[in-house]
Amino acid sequence: MSQTTSDFLIGRLKTWGVRRIYGYPGDGINGILGALERAGDSMQFIQVRHEEMAAFMACAHAKFTGEVGVCMATSGPGAIHLLNGLYDAKLDHQPVVAIVGQTSRVAMGGSYQQEVDLQTLFKDVAGEYVQTAMAPAQIRHLIDRAIRIALAERTVTCVIIPHDLQDEKYTDPPHEHSTVHSGTGFSSPRVIPADADLRHAAEVLNAGERVAMLIGSGAMRAADEVKEVAEIMGCCVAKALLGKAALPDDLPFVTGSIGLLGTKPSWVMMRDCDTLLMVGSSFPYPEFLPKEGQARGVQIDIDGRMLSIRYPMEVNLTGDSKESLRALIPLLKRKADRAWREKLENEIKEWWDLVEARAANEANPINPERVFWELSPKLPRNCILAADSGSTATWFARDLKMREGMMASLSGNLATMGPGVPYVIAAKFAFPDRVAIALVGDGAFQMNGMNEVITIAKYWKEWSDPRLVICVLKNCDLNMVTWEQRVLAGDPKYLQSQVMPPFPYAQFAGSLGLKGIQIETPDRISSAWDEALSADRPCVLEFHTDPEVPPLPPHITYEQAKHFVQSMMKDPSRSQALKQSIKEMWDSFTK
């Protein structure tokens, strides 16, 4: 049988090193599915419950492996479902290629069933490259360019393939005018700033007396260089959310997360520094960075477009974090005065004591901070973590102590609900021998995570180590937003929008042949983690947590506190909430 356009497409993806496609079938991609069937084990098709999840998984594949992630959906509704997951990848700068079906060429423009203007629909999310194939000889360069542009620009690209094209006989482009002859392959460049700019950066950093360092996901492969610079500069290092795994939390000079979900030492460091070195981060909140004019700034980012958009920097360096820091290190002078670092290291010690004290506070029935606090020392070597948006992101950012060799991610810039479970599924496919742990709220789990537990049940026996743990905080609340209503808007909790219906999550896992544990008292937290982390199959931990434990900003402002107290007075559940929250606030000021 001659090769169809779809056979060629799958073969080309293989040439690019793609071995797995996350997707969901439909008539609009039947030609491609036929080719996948013919390709046998050489290309894996992972069947998800919803196309958005396929896009999250492709994004997570890119985040955890550094390779391009590929997802696939049928025309019309399937393609539309991909969007949110693709935006997650776009906003977090991940290379993801979406392959989608389309109405047959002969019917396009005829208001045919499931015909949607996909070119326009994907034009924003895949703005760098979205193309509709019109002839078999075109498919080669469309795939080559979609993958290369995704990798080169660290973004989302999309190839739209009409139904009737998929089964047409493939032919290479003829050697004549008006044809395109592309090839495969991409290698990342070595990007280092110019010598004069590095010298300028060193002059600024050497002149500073109180240097603050902020790193993000761009510093993920630069841990050794970050440590060395921090040692020379006598400074401490804060981590933006996506950079949580970039540096272990057990180092004495790591202040931890920054921002609303951040720590007090990060806040103090930014408040008191005279120099800011920002590496591989686009951390968005200016109120947690130095005041304009307070500090001289140096920023390193691989993407020149991201420079000086959060703080007006004096030196803007376009470059790879690792390579640029390595080039900078010989120009830096070791600071003899270590008082600044020592002061912050004390702050860090005090902060961890405070976190531990907060975790030990009584709650009704379980304090969510304690769930995370107790997990830290139990985290398996090389585990891969994913958190969802919600209060889980706060506890993940603040309470978990990451160690060397671990990976972690979440939806950083889109901050969408829903990626927790699909991220760990992709982690298990990419690294079947590592333990994966998802930290999700009951709202996110109900939104879509639960459905993907069915996907886990379908595939887990393929993984060499079956351990995948989903920790669900069952607080029967969309808690993060409830606290935003209280603290930021000064409104009481709006019961109609905030209360989540209860559901037996552990039982649900059990019904799928997985392990499920319901934890209703704090004394069971530790043993439940032990059971889940040594289970012979994936496990859902259903922690009954207290929605009245506030995920407060590290240093609450007067304005927020005023709003908070006003809202408490009107709150339907005020007595318990007030008691708990005042204790938290008291802790943060007195300890």
Ligand X SMILES: Cc1ncc(C[n+]2csc(CCOP(=O)(O)OP(=O)(O)O)c2C)c(N)n1
Binding footprint of Mg ion on the chain (CB under 5 A): 441-443, 475, 477, 479
The answer to whether 209 and 340 have CB atoms below 8 angstroms apart is yes
Three-state DSSP state, 235: coil
**Hey, how many other C-beta atoms are within 10 angstroms of the C-beta on 352?**
18
CA distance 86 to 53: 10
Q: Does 473 bind ligand X (CB under 6 A)?
A: yes
CB of 483 to ligand X, least distance (A): 8
368-407: contacts with ligand X (CB under 6 A):
388-392
Segment interacting with ligand X (CB under 6 A) among 287-295, 335-343, 412-420, 429-437: 412-420
Instruction: Give the nearer residue to ligand X in terms of CB position, either 406 or 480.
Output: 480
CB of 505 to Mg ion, least distance (A): 12
Residue 444 binds which entry of Mg ion, ligand X, none, CB below 5-8 Å type-dependent = ligand X
Residue 416 binds which entry of Mg ion, ligand X, none, CB below 5-8 Å type-dependent = ligand X
CB of 98 to ligand X, least distance (A): 19
Site string for ligand X, 429-458 (x = CB under 6 A): ------------xxxx--------------
Instruction: Give the nearer residue to ligand X in terms of CB position, either 51 or 442.
Output: 442
Name which position in 324, 475, 567, 581 contacts ligand X (CB under 6 A).
475
Site string for ligand X, 480-519 (x = CB under 6 A): xx------------------x-------------------
CB of 397 to ligand X, least distance (A): 13
Three-state DSSP state, 237: strand
CB of 545 to ligand X, least distance (A): 8
* Residue type for position 72: M
Rounded to a whole number of angstroms, the distance between the first and last alpha carbons of the chain is: 75
Collect all residues with Cβ–Cβ distance below 8 Å to 56 and sequence separation of at least 6: 85, 88, 418, 419, 422, 423, 426
Work out whether strand 130-132 and strand 156-162 pair parallel, antiparallel, or are unpaired: parallel
Work out whether strand 156-162 and strand 69-73 pair parallel, antiparallel, or are unpaired: unpaired
**What's the distance, CA 420 to chain centroid?**
9
Residue 472 binds which entry of Mg ion, ligand X, none, CB below 5-8 Å type-dependent = none
CB of 389 to ligand X, least distance (A): 4
Residue 131 binds which entry of ligand X, Mg ion, none, CB below 5-8 Å type-dependent = none
* Residue type for position 68: V
Q: Does 417 bind ligand X (CB under 6 A)?
A: yes
Point out the residue whose Cβ comes nearest to Mg ion.
441
Q: Angle of helix 525-533 relative to helix 368-375, nearest 10 degrees?
A: 50
CB of 157 to ligand X, least distance (A): 23
CA distance 505 to 507: 5
Instruction: Give the nearer residue to ligand X in terms of CB position, either 131 or 479.
Output: 479
Instruction: Give the nearer residue to Mg ion in terms of CB position, either 367 or 479.
Output: 479
CA distance 205 to 532: 47
CB of 551 to ligand X, least distance (A): 8
Task: Write out the two tokens for 540.
Answer: 């859902």
Name which position in 415, 535, 565, 582 contacts ligand X (CB under 6 A).
415
Instruction: Give the nearer residue to ligand X in terms of CB position, either 210 or 493.
Output: 493
Segment interacting with ligand X (CB under 6 A) among 42-50, 268-276, 457-465, 479-487: 479-487
Phi, psi torsion values for 576, nearest 5 degrees: -65, -45
- 254-257, strands of its sheet edge to edge: 254-257, 236-239, 211-215, 275-279, 296-301, 315-318
Residue 417 binds which entry of ligand X, Mg ion, none, CB below 5-8 Å type-dependent = ligand X
CA atoms within 13 A of residue 553's CA, in its CB half-sphere: 18
Residue 392 binds which entry of Mg ion, ligand X, none, CB below 5-8 Å type-dependent = ligand X
276-295: contacts with ligand X (CB under 6 A):
none
Point out the residue whose Cβ comes nearest to ligand X.
441
* Residue type for position 35: A
DSSP string, 528-578: HHHHHHT-SS-EEEEEEB-TTS----SS--HHHHHHHHHHHHH-TTHHHHH
Task: Write out the two tokens for 554.
Answer: 């590290």
Name which position in 51, 249, 477, 542 contacts ligand X (CB under 6 A).
477
Instruction: Give the nearer residue to ligand X in terms of CB position, either 245 or 417.
Output: 417
Residue 411 binds which entry of Mg ion, ligand X, none, CB below 5-8 Å type-dependent = none
**Which of 279, 285, 281, 246 lies closest to 262 in space, CA to CA?**
285
Tell whether omega for the bond before 365 is within 30 degrees of 0, i.e. cis.
yes
- Torsion-angle region of 429 (φ positive above 0: left; ψ -120 to 50: alpha; else: beta): alpha
CA distance 53 to 391: 21
CB of 164 to ligand X, least distance (A): 35
Residues that bind ligand X (CB under 6 A): 388-392, 415-417, 441-444, 473, 475, 477-481, 500
